Amino acid sequence: MNKGELIEAVANATGSTKADAGRAIDATVDSITAALKKGDTVTLIGFGTFKTAARAARTGRNPQTGAALKIPARTVPSFKAGAALKAAVN
C-alpha cells in the first residue's frame, strides 16, 4: 500500500473526501516527525511506538576498495510494533 492507496482507504472508512484524508495523514506524519525531532516518543496504544535511538560513531569499510572509512554518530528513528498490531499480522 502506498500513500495514495492509504489516503483512499482512509477517505472510504471515514466518509470524507480524499483531500481531507490526505491533509489528515500529512498532519499526522508531520506531528510524529516534529515530536521525534524534539527527542520525544510517540506511542499509539495498540499500534506501536515511534522513538529515536543514538548510533555511535564507527569505522566501516568501502566494499569496493576495502578502505576504512569513518561513519559519524547520528540519531535514527525507530518503530516498535504494539501487541495488537503484532496479533493482527500473525
DSSP letters spanning 75-89: EEEEEEE-HHHHHHH
- Rounded CA-CA distance 40/56 in Å is 19
SS3 at position 12:
helix
Supply the mean pLDDT for the chain.
96
Identify whether residues 79 and 45 lie together within a single domain: yes
Residue 69's CATH number: 4.10.520.10
Residues 51 and 86 placed together within one structural domain of the fold = yes
- Residue tagged 529515536 (cell numbers): 52
pLDDT at 77: 96
Yes or no: say if 11 and 20 are a contact pair by the CB < 8 Å rule: yes
The whole-number pLDDT of residue 10 equals 96
Mean pLDDT of 22-50: 96
pLDDT in tens, 56-71: 999 999 999 999 999 9
User: What range defines the domain where residue 2 resides?
Assistant: 1-39
pLDDT at 57: 96
14 Ramachandran zone, left/alpha/beta (phi>0; psi -120 to 50): alpha
49 and 88, same domain (yes or no): yes
* Structural domains counted in the chain: 2
Q: What per-residue confidence (pLDDT) applies to 56?
A: 96
